Amino acid sequence: MHRIALTLVLLVGIASTGTGQARADEPWNFVQITCVPELGYFSIRKILIMNLPHKGPYLTDGFTAPASAVSALQSKYRIFEGQALSTHPLTCIIPHLDVASGWEQEREGFEVKVVGHFDEKNNSPESSYCRMTDSVEVLVNGKSSGSIVLNPCENGPMLVSVEVSHDGVELAIRRCTRDPLADHSPDQQQTVCREEPLAKVQ
């Protein structure tokens, strides 16, 4: 879909060796979205796949995925790229649950919208993929709860997952961030998660 610049990375990696044997890694970032009204639950998480096979089941055209493969990934597994969500945002609606006599109290409903931000103009052989915008923003009840960056060149602490559900008392949101630089420090946690009332963060 939008890996023209990464193809250039591949070619540069080969040329830099002078032997033609080396190959640069190709990171592919996606998000997987789960929306379950029956459970009052929403989640989105980042997925990183390294070095997808060219001419394989997804990159059937070699360096790109055809529309049919992209559509199948979305419909079968709810896995998306940022580009697709920029043109067709996804909305998850969890309905309000009325009180049931003799049982739990009523539960507040919520709505989550996932919007992709993709900078098409910088996706060309003349520009660097590292400079382009590629992320998905998570909006809960109309307010942003953060963005998951899909640009593989980012190297700071990044949001990697968001979960929203009702804990029996109130709506709660759980957000996890990952610091890739922590890979090189045994004293640091790679992934840190924090859960708090949704009302507190909005």
- Mean pLDDT over residues 34-62, rounded? 93
- The pair of structure tokens assigned to 189 is 């946690």
Residue 77: the pLDDT is: 97
> Is 123 within the bounds of a domain?
yes
For the chain, how many structural domains are there in total? 1
Asked if residue 143 is part of any domain, the answer here is yes
Q: Which domain holds residue 175?
A: 28-49+79-201
Residue 159 lies in a domain: yes
- Mean pLDDT of the 7-16 span: 39
| Angle (nearest 5°) at CA 60 between 54 and 66 | 125
CA–CA distance from 176 to each of 63, 124, 180 (Å)?
Answer: 31, 32, 13
pTM of the model: 0.82
Q: Flag whether 130 is in a domain.
A: yes
